[in-house]
Amino acid sequence: MGLFTKKPIDSLIHDSSDGETNLKRTLTAGNLIALGIGAIIGAGLFVRTAAAAANNAGPSVTIAFVVAALGCAFAGLCYAEFASMIPIAGSAYTYSYATMGELVAWIIGWDLVLEYAVGAATVGIAWSEYLNKLLAIFNMHIPYKWCHSPFEICTSPYFPDEFGMHGLINLPALFIIFMLTMLLIRGTKESAFVNGIIVISKVAIVIIFIILGWNYMTPANHTPYIPAATTFVDNYGVAHKYGGIWGILGAAGVVFFAFIGFDAVSTAAQEAKNPKKDMPIGILGSLVICTILYILFAHVLTGVASVNDFRTAGKEGSVVYAIQTYMHGYGWLGNLVTVAILFGFSSVILVMLMGQSRVFYSMSRDGLVPKTFSNLHPKYQTPYHSNWIFLVFVGGFAAFVPGDIVGDMTSIGTLFAFILVCAGVWILRITNPELQRSFKVPMVPVVSTLGILVCAAMIAGLGWTNWVRLGGWLVIGLVIYFAYSRKNSKLK
């Protein structure tokens, strides 16, 4: 049994029938589009758009959204084929185990920590920023040092008495992650009604901001639309390629975070009435609608406030800042945005923490991580040990690492996962052409190759500092694999 031993497809299908999922085909293309829109629109749009404009692309962040959407579309189609063929928990980890072997499966499972766990930390930090915006309505605020990491220095007018001070710990971010972890341990589920209200509110806020903000745009903020290629050094001393093609690719990697969650559509392949027809409509339809909303939102946001605003005073809570500073008379909209975003962020954190525990639950059952990750609570039947462990990990990132850094780590980790999924579809077409596929990606290997190239281009645009972080993270994972996972693999 070598490093690239594959888990048999029939074994995976047997696992899926062992009480894991017995799904009814009830979803139409319209249902899948709605599912995708609800999953896609979240923290990334309200937080990462301003960061990408400030550090990478300026007003041309709109073009970056198109590039990111293309990468998601190609990868999403590949996810859909896998989901229709291997109906079991574990996402890209499970797909890689079946196509490229155990070592690659371990790498992708370890890499998914960057998507789910670090992603939850990113949204937790954003939740903290908007909590202060909410408190500002009542002339209150949390002291800067208690809501920022030690690597951040106060430059915000919201903290006039603390200008130039360093942060110590982000307590609000740690608090929301702790509370949602407790919910997961208890097994509390969001009702479809409440979740639906959150989705509707998020979409409504995006549309309202676009409509009302259109008349407050300043043409000078969009000139030049594609800035000349230069280098911008942020407050942490990190150099970013700003402007030009590399600025757009870098921004695409940053705003890619805003699309994370679309793969929820692909996981519903077993519930689609007609997956061959409905899956591409659901994936591409939700991506097209969200991309149009994202482009319009980014165009208005960068027109209302300037790039310099997003680098200084408007760095935190960028949407609310733009409304309160430049859209006079619409303070109520800023307040509404703040409340709705806080609810929306909470939903996103909950889903990410749940996804993380589910991936490690699958890895634990395969023996690649300790059994404690699949131990279920005697009363609530949830993987509570895993939840506690990731509370410490995610909470540590949220409390002590700046939001820009963890956001970029999430993007590069997810892009790497997408590359492996695109490669996996191509490989499985060659090695197992006889497998039944309810949905097949058209024009393989063209589509899968384009997915790999677009995602690789966005990784390249994120810059060497993020490559080093990803490389360091993967090295740590390989050490754990050879020290523990390889010896304890149940497949061997």
Query: Spelled out in words, what is the top-level CATH class assigned to the domain 27-488?
Result: mainly alpha
Half-sphere exposure of 12 (CA within 13 A, CB side): 24
Whether residue 143 is preceded by a cis peptide bond, meaning omega within 30 degrees of 0, is no
Q: What is the pLDDT of residue 23?
A: 46
Q: How far is residue 53's CA from residue 308's CA, in Å, rounded to a whole number?
A: 10
CB 181 within 8 A of CB 117: no
pTM beyond cutoff 0.85: no
Residue 120 dihedral angles phi and psi, to the nearest 5°: -65, -40
In a 13 Å sphere around the CA of 433, the CA atoms on its Cβ side amount to 2
- The percent helix, strand, coil of the chain (3-state, each to 5) is 70, 5, 25
Measured CA to CA in angstroms, residue 472 lies from 180, 389, 424, 452 at distances of 29, 21, 24, 22
Angle, CA of 470, 52 and 110, to the nearest 5°: 20
**DSSP secondary structure string for all residues of 317-335:** SHHHHHHHHHSTT-HHHHH
Number of Cβ atoms within 10 Å of the Cβ of 436: 7
pLDDT at 327: 92
Which alpha helices (H) appear in 138-191, and where do they start and end? 171-186
The two tokens of residue 15 are 């696992």
On whether the CB atoms of residues 185 and 377 are closer than 8 A, the answer is: yes
Q: Which of 402, 397, 410, 341 is nearest to 148 (CA)?
A: 402
Query: Buried b vs exposed e over 154-183: b needs ≥16 C-beta within 10 Å?
Result: bebebbeebeeeebbbbbbbbbbbeebbeb
Closest CA to 297 of 408, 213, 225, 219: 213
- State the pLDDT at residue 3: 67
Q: For helices 403-431 and 43-52, what crossing angle results, to 10°?
A: 110
Measured CA to CA, the distance from residue 16 to residue 286 in angstroms comes to 27
Question: What per-residue confidence (pLDDT) applies to 267?
Answer: 58
- 252, 458 contact by CB (below 8 A): yes
Of 204, 113, 53, 110, which Cα lies nearest the Cα of 474? 110
> CA 41, CA 205: separation in Å to the nearest integer?
11
pLDDT < 50 stretches in the chain: 19-23, 190-192
| pLDDT attached to residue 70 | 92
Could you tell me which residues come within 8 angstroms of residue 91 by beta carbon, excluding any fewer than 6 positions away?
Answer: 112, 263, 267, 355, 359
The domain spans of the chain are 27-488
Alpha carbons 291 and 301: distance in angstroms, whole number: 15
How far apart CA 84 and CA 280 sit, in angstroms, is 12
Q: What is the pLDDT of residue 381?
A: 75
- Based on the number of CB atoms within 10 Å of its own CB, is 442 exposed (0-12), middle (13-18) or buried (19 or more)? exposed
Measure the CA dihedral 39/59/469/153, to 10°. Answer: -100
